[in-house]
Amino acid sequence: MAHHTAPSGADRSDAPVIVVLDGPAGTGKSTVSREIASRLGLSFLDTGAMYRAMTYWLLQNGVDVDDAEAVANASGKPTVLSGTDAAGPTITVDGQDVSGPIRGSEVTAAVSAVSAVPEVRTRMVDLQRGSAAAAPVGIVAEGRDLGTVVFPDADLKVFLTASAEIRATRRAAQLGVSGPVETAAILADIERRDAADSGRATSPLAKAADAVEVDTTEMSPDEVIDHIIGLVRERAAVLSI
What is the arithmetic mean of pLDDT over 152-170?
Answer: 94
- Which range, of 139-143, 156-160, 201-205, averages the lowest pLDDT? 201-205
How large a percentage of the chain has pLDDT more than 70?
92
Q: Say if residue 6's pLDDT is above 50.
A: no
Write the CATH number for 201: 3.40.50.300
Strand order in the sheet with 156-161: 43-46, 138-143, 17-22, 156-161, 212-215
DSSP 217: T
How many CB atoms are located within 10 Å of the residue 212 CB? Answer: 16
- 10 within domain boundaries: no
- 1 within domain boundaries: no
For 105-129, what is each residue's pLDDT tens digit? 999 999 999 999 999 999 999 999 9
- 228 within domain boundaries: yes
Segments forming the whole domain that contains residue 106: 17-239
This prediction has a pTM of: 0.86
CB 225 within 8 A of CB 32: yes
**Using 50, 70 and 90 to split pLDDT, how confident is the model at 203?**
confident
**116/131 Cα distance (integer angstroms):** 22
Q: Which pairing describes strands 138-143 and 96-97: parallel, antiparallel, or unpaired?
A: unpaired
For 20-76, what is each residue's pLDDT tens digit? 999 998 888 999 999 999 999 999 999 999 999 999 999 999 999 999 999 999 999
Chain mean pLDDT for the chain: 89
- 125 within domain boundaries: yes
Give the number of domains in the chain: 1
CB 82 within 8 A of CB 102: no
Cα torsion 122, 124, 129, 131 to 10°: value is 160
- 193 within domain boundaries: yes
